[in-house]
């Protein structure tokens, strides 16, 4: 039976992983997400479900352990935070290139460099613009609550195995550390080795029985083959955009202005919208749930309805570029965001909306959609 609990985001994620039937977790300590491996070690999941949990000697080793388990078809994941994710990026590029299913969790902290251990959303570019080398993308889910930290584990694995691709859950220190009520699902049975071998016999390297050998590699020395591989990856991403893009619209029906924000910033912006509406300012929120595939079309349509858009993100301005791309100059798009680990308040968001958008002299000077067609 499902269970209602009060938990930290990091711990809800770990518990949800056990309940989702994850086969293996490989991690390494780094604030603000060490609770994930601490919780897993405390729960002794090898006794509960047979799940393997191992602390590696580095994030690099951990992501390559993920690669190893994934190459045999196991449900495998890792979690880290910003600097640790930078160390994992080569491995993530290998996972994408070798077409392996895996889930990586980034509980983002302030950067660059050692940065700070306080929350941030400054890894947006790293997450959605590749991060590692080569032509690949990551399917990125951005939880905005402890509930979503739990729910997105199963969603991420569904996508990972549907596309045989690495999936990133982009959280942040705020969501990882804060406690909220969370409904946890029932325990899902882990697949037996026999079931797994049968299901993934066409590709998983589980030992050559009476079939052709299975090779897991991202190497193609012949360019023609490498290009085919890249095209195969791109086809996946197109399909992700068609079938698995997720977003949420809040108070947009009568909105004259729009805030675009994900994760913690979306939660804070909802309060800013309340404050704004109390002052008669009709503003709505578009919350991307997947950062790739990004909700370009809904944003493009909303740009016809509103006079201006504020992108709110705990960084110096990253997602704002994608908002501008999606809006295609129909209306002004501005960024607001505290950095360095400081969390902007709803009042600050409202003030930015007023200064940067409502009092923006370019409001109304933009060609409307009809005239732009003529």
Partner 1 sequence: MNVLDIIKPENQVFCKTKLMTDTTLSYCPGCGHGTAHNLTMEVIDEMGIVADTIGVAPVGCSVLAYDFMNIDITQAAHGRAPAVATAIARCWPDKYVFTYQGDGDLAAIGTAETIHTCNRGENIVIIFVNNGIYGMTGGQMAPTTLEGMQSSTSPYGRDSKTMGMPIKMTELVANLPGVYYATRQSVHTHKHARKAKKAIRKAFENTRLKQGVSFIEIVSNCNSGWKMTPLEANEWMEEHMFAYFPLGDIKVNGKLK
Rounded least distance, CB 20 to partner 1, Å = 16
Pick the closer one to partner 1 by CB: 70 or 289.
70
Rounded least distance, CB 240 to partner 1, Å = 25
Rounded least distance, CB 226 to partner 1, Å = 14
- For 46, 53, 66, 88, 294, the CA distances from 23, given in Å and listed in that order, are 9, 9, 11, 20, 30
Pick the closer one to partner 1 by CB: 69 or 327.
69
Write out the residues near partner 1 by the rule CB under 8 A.
23-24, 26, 52, 54, 56-58, 60-62, 64-69, 71-72, 74, 76, 90-91, 94, 98, 193, 205-209, 213-219
Pick the closer one to partner 1 by CB: 193 or 238.
193
Are 36 and 27 in contact by the 8 Å Cβ rule? The answer is: yes
Rounded least distance, CB 131 to partner 1, Å = 15
Q: Are strands 179-184 and 247-250 parallel, antiparallel or unpaired?
A: unpaired
Rounded least distance, CB 113 to partner 1, Å = 22
Pick the closer one to partner 1 by CB: 86 or 360.
86
Handedness of CA 117, 122, 128, 129 (dihedral sign): negative
User: How many other CB atoms sit within 10 Å of the CB of residue 343?
Assistant: 17
* Residue 280, Cβ density class (10 Å: 0-12 exposed, 13-18 middle, ≥19 buried): exposed
Pick the closer one to partner 1 by CB: 23 or 43.
23
Rounded least distance, CB 68 to partner 1, Å = 3
Pick the closer one to partner 1 by CB: 72 or 264.
72
Q: If you search the block for the tokens 């032509």, which residue do you land on?
A: 135
Q: For residue 146, what are the contacts with CB-CB under 8 A and spacing of at least 6?
A: 7, 8, 9, 12, 175, 178, 179, 180, 181, 182
């Amino acid at each position: 039976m499902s269970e209602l609990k009060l938990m930290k985001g990091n711990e809800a994620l770990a518990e949800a992983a056990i309940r989702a039937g994850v086969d293996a977790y490989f991690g390494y300590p780094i604030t603000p997400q060490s609770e994930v491996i601490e919780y897993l070690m405390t729960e002794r999941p090898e006794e509960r479900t047979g799940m393997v949990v191992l602390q590696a000697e580095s994030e690099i080793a951990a992501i390559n352990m993920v690669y190893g388990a994934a190459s045999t078809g196991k449900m495998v994941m890792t979690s880290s935070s910003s600097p640790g994710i930078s160390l994992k990026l080569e491995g993530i590029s290998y996972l994408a290139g070798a077409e392996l299913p895996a889930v990586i969790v980034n509980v983002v902290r302030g950067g660059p460099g050692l940065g700070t251990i306080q929350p941030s959303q400054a890894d947006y570019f790293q997450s959605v613009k590749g991060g590692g080398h080569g032509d690949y993308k990551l399917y990125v889910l951005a939880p905005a609550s402890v509930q979503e930290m739990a729910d997105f584990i199963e969603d991420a694995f569904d996508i990972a195995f549907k596309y045989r691709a690495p999936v990133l859950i982009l959280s942040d220190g705020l969501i990882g550390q804060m406690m909220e009520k969370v409904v946890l699902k029932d325990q899902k049975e882990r697949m037996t080795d026999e079931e797994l071998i049968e299901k993934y016999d066409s590709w998983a390297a589980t030992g050559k029985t009476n079939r052709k050998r299975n090779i897991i590699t991202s190497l193609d020395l012949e360019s023609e083959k490498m290009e085919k591989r890249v095209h195969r990856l791109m086809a996946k991403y197109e399909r992700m955009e068609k079938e698995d893009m997720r977003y949420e619209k809040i108070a947009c029906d009568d909105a004259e202005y729009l805030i675009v924000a994900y994760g913690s910033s979306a939660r804070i912006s909802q309060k800013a919208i309340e404050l704004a509406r109390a002052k008669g300012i009709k503003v709505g929120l578009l919350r991307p749930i997947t950062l790739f595939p990004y909700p370009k079309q809904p944003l493009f349509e909303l740009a016809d309805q509103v006079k201006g858009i504020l992108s709110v993100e705990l960084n110096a301005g990253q997602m704002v570029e994608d908002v501008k791309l999606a809006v295609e100059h129909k209306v002004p798009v501005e960024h607001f965001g505290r950095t360095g680990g400081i969390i902007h308040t709803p009042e600050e968001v409202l003030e930015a909306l007023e200064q940067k958008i409502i009092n923006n002299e370019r409001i109304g000077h933009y060609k409307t959609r009809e005239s732009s067609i003529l």
